[in-house]
Amino acid sequence: MKKIYFIAIMIAFGFYANAQQKSTDTTTRVAPKLYNPAADAGAEIAAAVKTAAAQHKNVLLQIGGNWCSWCLLFNGLVTKDAELNKYMNDNYVVLHVNYSKENMNQKVLASLGYPQRFGFPVFVILDGKGNRLHTQNSSYLEEGKGHSKAKVMEFFENWSPKAIDPKTYQEKEKAK
């Protein structure tokens, strides 16, 4: 009888240990980080501007943090939707600028006109010379519990290099 109890206890302990191991494994999985609090935002922006100038694109700064669910939702939309992703990558050099307790990037954000006043995420468009063209409050892109694909595409189109190129408007005037 003692052997049966001993075997039952060992089996129960085995199940318990196995369950503990599985729960530990799932808690160690960490979602990939979109924003890097340790990054030198000023240097990264300078590099993005240089790349944008060489590729005839604008820079799209997405300012937020890994703590910001709306920031992650927006990134999910523009990376998973093929049309948005293609348009974004064809027209912009994209950079995620961190804003968190660890690093608020106050000096960089001051140089951009304090875009954090609009909440997060907030988007800043720079040209290939580093000039700030536009700051976008993301609440205007929201719809329901996410972002509107149509509104995001309109935002991308309105601030693309072609849209702000004076030659585009001169060509339209000649066509009339």
Q: Mean pLDDT across the chain, nearest whole number?
A: 89
Taking the domains of the chain in order of start, what are their residue ranges?
A: 41-162
Beta strands in the chain (DSSP E): 58-64, 92-98, 122-126, 132-137, 142-143, 146-147
Helices vs. strands in the chain: H and E counts, helices first: 8, 6
* 56-72 tens-digit pLDDT: 999 999 999 999 999 99
61 neighbors 130 (Cβ within 8 angstroms): no
Instruction: Spell out the residues 6+ positions from residue 172 whose beta carbon is closer than 8 angstroms to its own.
Output: none
Domain 41-162 fold = Glutaredoxin (3.40.30)
* 88-143 tens-digit pLDDT: 999 999 999 999 999 999 999 999 999 999 999 999 999 999 999 999 999 999 99
